[in-house]
A = this chain, B = another copy of it.
Amino acid sequence: MLGLMMDQPLLISDLIRHADRHHGDTEIVSKTVEDGSVHRYTYREAHGRARRLAKALGGLGVQTGDRVATLAWNGYRHFEIYYAVAGSGGVIHTINPRLFPEQIAYIANHAEDRVLCFDINLAPLVEKLAPMLKTVKAYVAMCARAAMPKASIPGLHCYEELLEAQDGRYDWPSFDERTAACLCYTSGTTGNPKGALYSHRSTMLHAYAAALPDALNLSARDVILPVVPMFHVNAWGLPYSCAAMGAKVVFPGQHLDGKSLHTLFEQEGVTMSAGVPTVWLGLLATMKEQKLKFSTLRAVVIGGSAAPPAMIRTFQEEYGVQVLHAWGMTEMSPLGTVCTFKAKHAKWGKEDRYALQNKIGRVLFGVDTRIVDENGKELPRDGKAFGDLQVRGPWIVSGYFKGEGGDPLKKDAAGEAWFPTGDVVTIDPDGYIQITDRSKDVIKSGGEWISSIDLENIAVAHPAVQEAAVIGVRHPKWDERPIVVVVRKAGQELSREDLLKFYEGKIAKWWMPEDVVFVNELPHTATGKLSKLTLRQQMKDYQLPG
């Protein structure tokens, strides 16, 4: 027997319609790409323009299910494209303009994008891309006629002219809420990029969950500045959650240096912002250097990679800004956890509270987690056992676009499907998760796991160590044993025995590295991350001592 409730699908168009009807006068402010000036309008105007754009895209031949790509920074036109494309039944495919042109071409061809919208300062990139793109029929420069780039791009249209040619008469269509809405590719370290294809349903449920008090805590009293790019997992869903909550949005455009951000924060009364640690490092350096303060900022979300403990402390103690340490994945829309306190923690001491904030937090309602050992057996949630983190929930992928990479899911004994995150973690009895390692980096010794990250953190705490990487090497008895590969600080002395001595008392005996190998430098990826894959290849002929 079914309930007798209105059968209303969860559609992205309802977000912007809601914002128009109930928060029509609330502002969307953008630092423009054209000249750095500030553009200012309301949800009501954004809705009107999004409807005109939806009509214009129809005129360019975009049909239900067609992909419309963007190469764009955070701004109001990008926001309009989000709603126009998904709202009309298309799929918005946001592409990171910082990828190599060959990667972009691969992704756009794999996605079979029909239209590509781009910010005008990316025109040279698009000019280079155009000959490689096999399916794009129209290019849209996101500007007015006067600013149109003088680039040799076939089928080039002017965004504002497209809108001007349309009247505002457009009703958002209704359809199955499981319809695809957004496409984001992950750039895995191995294999081809894989596309996560979000639905209207998953996006809407994520929008609800992300706004909850124990997640990002968003309301109509907030002014939100998403530093995280709109090409990076939908700016962590903020363009959706903000519309749902009627929060004022401030789009920072292209310049994310500390001074530009601080000025915008103060001018627009920003209460909450979200970005990766690198951005906050820059901001905090400027703040300190120029002795600046925040007048309205109450919280920052730090995600993308682990929030450094000192950064959490600086925000909270020096600036009175609450840090929300968050974790997610492209495959998770992206939010999985946010680190907020429970009632019991009010009684905890300051240092214990900071220790908790270094964890990635606990799940948003809707996401479930479990940790499993190598055989898929669930491990206890005791804060000690660590294993592969698996997740499930309505905004987590069931597979990748066009079946790329095969079926990623693992079934449990009850037949429920889980997505393996590739992280090795502990979960404490209160549900707080600590990342211990990446699955591919964890060292399996005698049937037990050793965290390479823990061992690296100890090594770099030694005053003579500049950088360290811990990897597992084959061992006849224990399968794998850890070794530390170390770059000494210039002019410092450090022996194998010195460093091993330094580990004593800090770890269980069986975690003790078998050897220390000194090198002049460690391999890194293009984005500056330590590349253990390359390191393992470099060390493939290494023999354990004895």
Contacts and interface: CB of A to CB of B under 8 A. Distances in A.
Given A3-B200, A179-B3, A208-B209, A21 B220 contact: no
Interface stretch (A22-30, A274-282, A501-509): A22-30
Contacts of A181: 3
B211 A213 contact: yes
Nearest to A395: B5
Interface stretch (A132-140, A227-235, A396-404, A487-495): A396-404
Interface in A430-455: 430-431
Contacts of A431: 21-23
For A1, A21, A179, A218, the residue with the greatest tally of chain B CB atoms inside 10 Å of its CB is A1
Given A171-B414, A179-B3, A342-B220, A368 B65 contact: no
Given A181-B3, A396-B6, A365 B244 contact: yes
A219 interface: yes
Contacts of A1: 64-65, 91, 179-180
A368 B19 CA distance: 11
B21 A381 contact: yes
A470 interface: no
A3 B429 contact: no
Contacts of A49: none
A475 interface: no
A199 B5 contact: yes
Contacts of A196: 4
Given A171-B414, A414-B171, A245 B6 contact: no
A262 interface: no
A220 B345 CA distance: 10
A9 to B, nearest CB: 8
For A3, A346, A395, the residue with the greatest tally of chain B CB atoms inside 10 Å of its CB is A3
B340 A2 contact: no
B2 A180 contact: yes
A21 B211 contact: no
Contacts of A25: 429-430
A189 B213 CA distance: 39
Contacts of A333: 5
Contacts of A205: 208
For A341, A342, A365, the residue with the greatest tally of chain B CB atoms inside 10 Å of its CB is A365
Task: Give the interface SS of chain A, mostly helix, strand, loop or mixed.
Answer: loop
A223 interface: yes
Number of identical protomers: 2
A289 B451 CA distance: 62
Contacts of A6: 392-394, 396-398, 417, 419
A198 interface: yes
B213 A5 contact: no
A187 to B, nearest CB: 18
A395 B8 CA distance: 9
Contacts of A22: 362-363, 430-431
B400 A212 contact: no
A202 interface: yes
A412 to B, nearest CB: 11
Contacts of A164: none
A480 interface: no
A176 interface: yes
Categorize the interface residue count of chain A.
35 or more
Nearest to A91: B1
A362 B218 CA distance: 16
A222 interface: yes
B212 A245 contact: yes
Contacts of A417: 6
A217 interface: yes
A343 interface: yes
A352 interface: no
Contacts of A18: 365, 368
Nearest to A247: B343
A51 interface: no
Contacts of A346: 221
A154 to B, nearest CB: 27
A178 interface: yes
A214 interface: yes
Nearest to A248: B343
Contact of A341 (B17, B171, B221, B342): B221
A180 B5 CA distance: 9
B176 A342 contact: no
Contacts of A199: 2-5
A198 B5 contact: yes
A221 B218 CA distance: 16
The 7 A-B pairs with the shortest beta carbon distances in the complex, nearest first, are A3-B199, A22-B431, A213-B219, A1-B65, A5-B202, A208-B208, A4-B197
Interface of A: 1-8, 10, 14, 17-18, 21-26, 64-65, 91, 171, 176, 178-181, 196-202, 205, 208-209, 211-214, 217-223, 244-248, 269, 333, 340-343, 346, 362-363, 365, 368, 381, 392-401, 414, 417, 419, 429-431
8 contacts: A1-B64, A3-B179, A3-B180, A3-B197, A3-B200, A22-B363, A211-B213, A221-B340
